[in-house]
Copies of this chain bind each other. A is one copy, B any other.
Amino acid sequence: MTEHINKQFDQDLEAIRSRMLQMGGLVESQIRDAIAAFLDAAPERAARVIAGDTKVNDLELQIDNELGQIIVRRQPAASDLRLILAASKIVTDLERIGDEAAKIARMAKDEQAPAGNHHRIVPLHHISEVAIGMLRKSLDAFARLDAAAAARVAAEDVAIDEEFRSIIRQLITFMMEDPRTITASLQVVWVAKAFERIGDHAKNIAEYVIYIVKGRDVRHIPLAELEKEALGR
């Protein structure tokens, strides 16, 4: 009987996990489309991203709802509950990454956005790739419940923050050289900021993965300790 319940519980979790990875894939494609729309000044593509955010939001509500149902139906023990509660937090971070994609898309629809103005927007390519890479790796770590991989994602957040600061320094130089470009440069600032935020959310997801695997909450411990926690034991 207990084995039977366990099997049902495992099936529930497997269903949730694949749904979360589906949501993660959707969010990733939202980010890709948003930055492409911004860089190519493609307002229709941007409009599709904005419309697509509803789908992301719906998935958040559905998955949260299913997580609640699992708790009521299966009355999980503490260790399983840990996974369910962390999954619910991960879903919120995914939804907020979706919000950042929608924000970038809204800026892509702005006529003052500096498309084609290459020297200013080139660094956005790179920071977007770093952010998307962090998201993908955090979801892979979740799929495989791999704490060591999750710790590597969390460590990457330092690099994306440095990248963000470097973009801002460059933009300040451009703005000082030609103050007429200040408004357009600030658009680039907001897009860069959105990617820095996406990096933060990917880091949060990675920390929840470590929590699920190791059972210790690592949300607020220093990076070096976090890596030890994830690798050692």
Contact surface of A with B, Cβ cutoff 8 Å: 54, 57-58, 60-61, 64-65, 67-69, 71-72, 75-78, 81-82, 85, 88-89, 92, 168, 172, 175-176, 179-180, 182-183, 186, 189, 193, 217, 219-220
Pick from B75, B85, B172, B219: contact of A68, CB under 8 Å: B85
Given A72-B77, A175-B182, A179-B176: A85 and B64 interface contact (C-beta under 8 Å): yes
Some 17 contacts from A to B, beta carbons below 8 A apart, are A54-B220, A60-B219, A61-B220, A65-B217, A67-B85, A68-B78, A68-B81, A68-B85, A72-B81, A85-B88, A92-B92, A168-B186, A172-B186, A175-B179, A176-B182, A182-B182, A189-B189
- Distance of A186 Cα from B89 Cα, bound (Å): 32
Q: By DSSP majority rule, is chain A's interface helix, strand, loop, or mixed? A: helix
Which residues of the partner chain B approach A54 to less than 8 Å between Cβ atoms? 220
- Distance of A37 Cα from B186 Cα, bound (Å): 26
Tell me the smallest distance from the CB of A109 to a CB of chain B, in Å. 16
Pick from B61, B172, B186: contact of A217, CB under 8 Å: B61
Tell me the smallest distance from the CB of A59 to a CB of chain B, in Å. 11
Tell me the smallest distance from the CB of A172 to a CB of chain B, in Å. 6
Which residues of the partner chain B approach A60 to less than 8 Å between Cβ atoms? 219-220
Whether A78 contacts B88 by the Cβ 8 Å rule is no
Whether A57 contacts B179 by the Cβ 8 Å rule is no
Given A78-B68, A81-B72, A89-B92: A220 and B57 interface contact (C-beta under 8 Å): yes
Whether A172 contacts B183 by the Cβ 8 Å rule is yes
Tell me the smallest distance from the CB of A194 to a CB of chain B, in Å. 11
- Distance of A180 Cα from B175 Cα, bound (Å): 10
Pick from B75, B88, B189, B219: contact of A88, CB under 8 Å: B88
Find the B residue at minimum CB distance from A80: B72
Tell me the smallest distance from the CB of A160 to a CB of chain B, in Å. 16
Given A60-B219, A168-B186, 4 additional A-B pairs, CB 8 A: A57-B220, A68-B82, A172-B183, A176-B179
